[in-house]
Amino acid sequence: MDEERTLILGMDICDGSLQLAYLDERGEMVSVSPFGNDVGKYRIPTAICTDPQYKEWYCGNDAMRMKGREGIAYFDDLVERAKADDGEPALGGLTPTALLTHFFRIVLTALREKTGGQIIKGLVVSIKKEDEAAKQAIERALGQLGIESDRLLIIGHPEAFMNYVVSQNKDIWINDVGMFYLSQDAFEFYRLTFGRKQGPVCVVTERTDLSGYVDGAQIIRGDTTDAVTGFKEAVSKMINKQMVSALYFTGPGFESAWADEVLKGLCAGRRIFRGQNLFVKGSGYKSRRTFAPGQDEEEFVYIAPDALKSSISLRAYKDGGYEEAMLADIGTPFSQASKKVEVIMDETNELDLIVHNVLKKDFVCAIMTLDNLEERNDRSVKVSITLKFADRDTCVITVRDIGFGEIRDTTYRIWEQILKI
């Protein structure tokens, strides 16, 4: 295979449109439109239509221009429709999934012709949130083109943002980095914090909902009344007295210049960026790291906004020595981190819980005392330990005395402790 004629691609699908970026011969990630050089064409509407009379298919902006013409059958928002595919034909005898496949085929064929690349070596697709139904719909559609899991990865916008940032000069991310995202239905702030204490750099993502400050739908309609005041308050809340070395502003709500005066006031001591190709380039950089890594590629560990940034282990005696038994691991979504184990207490009524945070060098030992539990030396005291998480920073630990068969009856005692991690 000729390496010079392969493609490393990033793709972003969001707000009813698609963007593409590819790794060029200089090793740069470049935004590209398969259908022209106009910057406005970088965003391709996820729309498709057919002209039954001439048996022609059109996609993207061409499809939108054909919409409403006599005899034209039109279909848009393809990913959302493919999510709800019930197998029934939707347009031109094709199901919603088949239409999404055909849309991808048209776009990727045009891209290969424009770039001279023949084989897609790796493709990373970013979507607004890690929507499992959307992910499966995209995987099914691209799978019909032979793009399977060995060269396909689907990630959320926060991970694409992280990959974009760490691909820039290190002075950009010497401290925390923030991103404001404004769309018709969301105003959010994402903060990246970098743990450089040991091993690969751990990047922890925090997400804050700011929808109460600014109405994105109103701004996109062109009405910016009171928007600047609410925006200033939101920005101040997120970065006041914080060590933030760079801020990014992206999403349809930041396309116009309504917030430029506020952005100018933020420039002191930090870098400011506004644009609409952050996610697609971030997915492209992730594609390079995954499918064409360099010899000196720096390694990063991404911690999603809903994932644990700390681990919890139990200090226990096993096979002649003490060890840490993992109860909850870093990077696990907190909604999936629940766990239940059973342990035998030997001449103690205390549990030693060890907490390791990726952003801190030292660990914390939290001792949970089980008041009124018998301290016996015959190893007949057995308890169950259950961990459940209210959020990524709050673990609820419940311990129950479960007895030991016929040797020792349970006392039915229950202990509970909230552990902030």
Boundary (domain end) residue, out of 126, 150, 174 = 150
Q: Which domain holds residue 97?
A: 3-150
List the one residue out of 334, 155, 153, 173 whose CA is nearest residue 244: 173
Q: Would you state the pLDDT for residue 131?
A: 86
Assess whether 342 and 212 both reside in one domain: no
Does residue 323 sit in the same domain as residue 299?
Answer: no
Q: What is the CATH number of the domain that holds 412?
A: 2.60.34
Domain identity same for 346 and 399: yes
Closest of 79, 49, 54, 83 to residue 67, by C-alpha: 49
Residue 353 bridge partners (DSSP):
314, 366
Q: Cβ atoms within 10 A of the Cβ of 203, count?
A: 24
pLDDT on residue 222: 87
Task: State which of 150, 170, 192 marks the end of a domain.
Answer: 150
236 & 362 share domain: no
Residues 44 and 167 in one domain: no
* Same-domain check for residues 249 and 130: no
pLDDT given at position 87: 85
pLDDT at residue 297 in the model: 81
Q: Which amino acid is at 304?
A: A
> Which H helix or E strand runs over 127?
strand 119-127
Note whether 67 and 95 are same-domain residues. yes
Q: Is residue 221 part of a domain?
A: yes
Written as six digits, the tokens of 17 are: 């449109």
Domain boundary among 150, 179, 206: 150
CB neighbour class for 233 (10 Å; exposed up to 12, middle 13-18, buried from 19): middle
Q: Assess whether 19 and 135 both reside in one domain.
A: yes
Residues 7 and 145 in one domain: yes
pLDDT at 326: 95
Position 109 scores a pLDDT of 93
List per-residue pLDDT tens for the chain, 421 residues long: 445 578 999 999 998 899 999 998 888 999 998 887 555 568 899 999 988 777 888 899 889 988 888 888 888 999 999 998 888 888 878 899 999 999 999 999 999 988 887 789 999 999 998 789 999 999 999 999 999 999 999 999 999 999 999 999 999 999 999 999 999 889 999 999 999 877 789 999 999 999 999 999 899 888 888 889 999 999 999 998 889 999 999 999 998 889 888 888 887 778 999 999 999 999 999 999 999 988 778 889 999 999 999 999 999 988 778 899 999 999 999 999 999 999 999 889 999 999 999 998 889 999 999 999 988 888 889 999 999 999 999 999 999 999 887 788 889 999 999 999 9
Residue 19 and residue 122 share a domain: yes
Asked if the structure places residue 73 within a domain, the reply is yes
Determine the pLDDT at residue 120.
93
CB distance 380 to 404 below 8 Å? yes
Number of domains in the chain: 3
Is the domain of 123 the same as that of 23?
yes
The CATH number linked to 15 is 3.30.420.40
99 CA to centre of own chain: 26
Residue 94 within any structural domain of the chain: yes
Class of residue 194 by CB neighbours under 10 A (exposed 0-12, middle 13-18, buried 19+): buried
Residue 288 inside a domain? The answer is no
CATH number at residue 198: 3.30.420
Give the pLDDT of residue 117: 77
